[in-house]
Amino acid sequence: MYDIRTEKSPKVHKWLKVAAWVTGAALILFVGLFFFTIWLEQKVERLVTEQSKGVYKLQLHGLKLSPFLGNLAADSVHLQPDYTKWKELSQQGQEVPRVLLDLRTGPVNLRDLSHIKALFERQVQLAELEVQKPILLLSVMRPDTTTSHLALHETAKGFLKGLTIGNIKVQQASMFYRRGATNDTLSSVRDFQLAVDDFRLDSASFAAKDRAYYAKMHKLAAASTHLLLPDELYKLSTDSLHIDTQSGEVLLQQLKITPLAEPAAMARAKGEAVTHQEAAAELIALRGVDFGEHSRTNEVHIKHVLLQTPTLNAFKDKQNFRDKGTKKLPHEMAQSIKTPFRLDSVELKSGYIRYAELAPEAEERGHIAFHHINALITNLSNMPEQVTIKKPAVIQAKTRVMDRADLDVTIRLPLLHDAGYHTIEGTIGETNLQLLNPILIPTSFVKLESGQVRSGKFRAELNQAAANGSMTLHYHNLKVELLSKDADKDQSLGKKVLSKLANKVAIKESNPSKGEEPRVGEISVSRDPQKSIFNYWKECLSSGFLSSMGLDGMAEK
């Protein structure tokens, strides 16, 4: 009988050998890959520790390697700083980073990574980096005392040198910022997404005009942000933040500036009378932001800034606290900013400001409000080639005082002028003067019983010491009452007599008076350096206003 097994046995043996070799090779490859992955994980962790001089420890969990595809993945990554080691090296005078990073992530994927270059040439090149749910804590360990900074590619070492990544995707990320190794967070950006296109850490990308911060595009979208302002008495927050370096846009929605202390507590913390403020805006939009120029030269150039529906509520307690120190003029503020900046235009739409004050001898707060504020600021800069006497920053604003009187103002500010020179001019619309009583009665103890303004115009020149100018105010039927500062008592007989005498002798009931030319009031103000620029401008208007009526100096009385 013919035995089929006898005829086929050589072929069977041959294929069995092939299968055995393939299985063995696969097993060896699998085992080798397993041990290579462990070796790679340990080597990378060891390299991080060595290159950071023990300041950082890296932990890779669930590392997976696909050498033929060039892919590398990890279930999670933790880059942990050793604050004690940092302090030890710093005390020894060794070079240590000013900012420490504490990074925890979810899944991390690197695609098309050249393992050979990464391990032996220390050049990291990959097509894509994807990071899920990272949490980054930045701890500023010492102040920045460097007068000039080198570009990132000039300071990069080890794996970072020449780093190239085709695409970066960061999802559901959060970032926190603090001073030192404390528990107090100064700022945070929560639940943000970040996309970066064609990142190349080299000199050519740094200098390229079509790139910003070494990439063709950075796009960030955050659900919420918060930032403690430098004095740590106010918190800035937004409901959302969008940044796109390619389109040159920054959008902040529902921005709020919230005080973290009551007015009295804030004044005690400062040791002087302070303006307690609360501000908000539905939208702040920056367009035409030159991110590329900023990344190369550290200059800030923005074509247009929009503040949509901003509001400001402010209060100052002058009864229990006193003004101290010196307040800066806009010129001094601009000149103190080290970073060169230029804002071509800043537009404010549908704004509102309410200011309240408790005067030294008042029983209640006085207040004034500005409704429907629309303003345009142009050529706002601290760059000498941009701002001159002939090309000043210009503020053009329109508002309704107490929602009843139209006020148009133009302010020209050559911000680099050493003496703080600037001009203010404008017009006043028809209104009833009694609208000013809410601020005049509690703060100046003056009551306008009647008075109707038909129109007014004013102009003044100001510097850091004094202001001079003129105001022409057309009004009629003006009657003024001087009030007692003791709110518990009725107006004294003496005050009543003075009021009648003032109305008959000093106060001009109308302008122009019958048969006369319109009088021109004088604006003459000595600047109080302990008070703000807004107070300075207000004093100019008050001076012209009172001079027109024959009430020079009444505000001080």
Over residues 113-127, the pLDDT tens digits come to 765 565 555 677 889
Whether the pLDDT of residue 73 is over 60: the answer is: yes
Q: 185-200 and 164-179: which strand pairing?
A: antiparallel
User: SS3 for 146?
Assistant: coil
Whether the pLDDT of residue 549 is over 90: the answer is: no
What pLDDT was estimated at residue 71?
83
**Beta bridge partner(s), residue 373:** 351
DSSP secondary-structure letter at 121?
Answer: I
What pLDDT was estimated at residue 481?
82
- Collect all residues with Cβ–Cβ distance below 8 Å to 346 and sequence separation of at least 6: 304, 305, 307, 375, 376, 377, 378, 380
Query: CA angle at residue 201 from 297 to 154, to 5 degrees?
Result: 60
Angstrom distance (rounded) from CA 76 to CA 135: 11
Angstrom distance (rounded) from CA 532 to CA 275: 10
Scanning the structure block, which residue is given the tokens 């504490």? 102
**Mean per-residue pLDDT of the chain:** 86
What pLDDT was estimated at residue 522?
95
Whether the pLDDT of residue 41 is over 80: the answer is: no
**Beta bridge partner(s), residue 524:** 468
pLDDT band at 377 (very low <50, low <70, confident <90, very high): very high
Annotate 182-208 with DSSP letters as a single string. SS-EEEEEEEEEEEEEEEE-SHHHHH-
What pLDDT was estimated at residue 39?
55
Angstrom distance (rounded) from CA 420 to CA 423: 10
User: SS3 for 485?
Assistant: coil
pLDDT above 90 covers a percentage of the chain that reads 63
Q: Which residue has the higher pLDDT, 220 or 485?
A: 220
pLDDT tens for each residue of 147-171: 667 888 888 776 778 889 999 999 9
- Extents of the domains making up the chain: 50-142+156-225
pLDDT tens for each residue of 340-350: 999 999 999 99
Nearest to 420 by CA among 391, 461, 383: 461
Angstrom distance (rounded) from CA 215 to CA 346: 28
pLDDT band at 295 (very low <50, low <70, confident <90, very high): very high
Which backbone phi and psi does 448 adopt, to 5 degrees? -90, 105
What pLDDT was estimated at residue 557?
43
Q: 76-81 and 56-61: which strand pairing?
A: antiparallel
What pLDDT was estimated at residue 494?
38
ω before 512 within 30° of 0 (cis)?
Answer: yes
What pLDDT was estimated at residue 508?
81
What pLDDT was estimated at residue 32?
44
Which backbone phi and psi does 183 adopt, to 5 degrees? -95, -5
Whether the pLDDT of residue 333 is over 70: the answer is: yes
What pLDDT was estimated at residue 556?
46
pLDDT tens for each residue of 185-202: 889 999 999 999 999 999
pLDDT tens for each residue of 263-280: 999 999 999 999 999 999
Whether the pLDDT of residue 444 is over 70: the answer is: yes
What pLDDT was estimated at residue 21?
53
Q: Which residue has the higher pLDDT, 304 or 224?
A: 304
DSSP secondary-structure letter at 492?
Answer: P
Angstrom distance (rounded) from CA 229 to CA 252: 17
Which backbone phi and psi does 287 adopt, to 5 degrees? -125, 150
pLDDT band at 487 (very low <50, low <70, confident <90, very high): very low
Angstrom distance (rounded) from CA 523 to CA 510: 19
User: SS3 for 468?
Assistant: strand
- Collect all residues with Cβ–Cβ distance below 8 Å to 49 and sequence separation of at least 6: 56, 57, 58
What pLDDT was estimated at residue 516?
87
Whether the pLDDT of residue 87 is over 90: the answer is: yes
pLDDT band at 108 (very low <50, low <70, confident <90, very high): very high
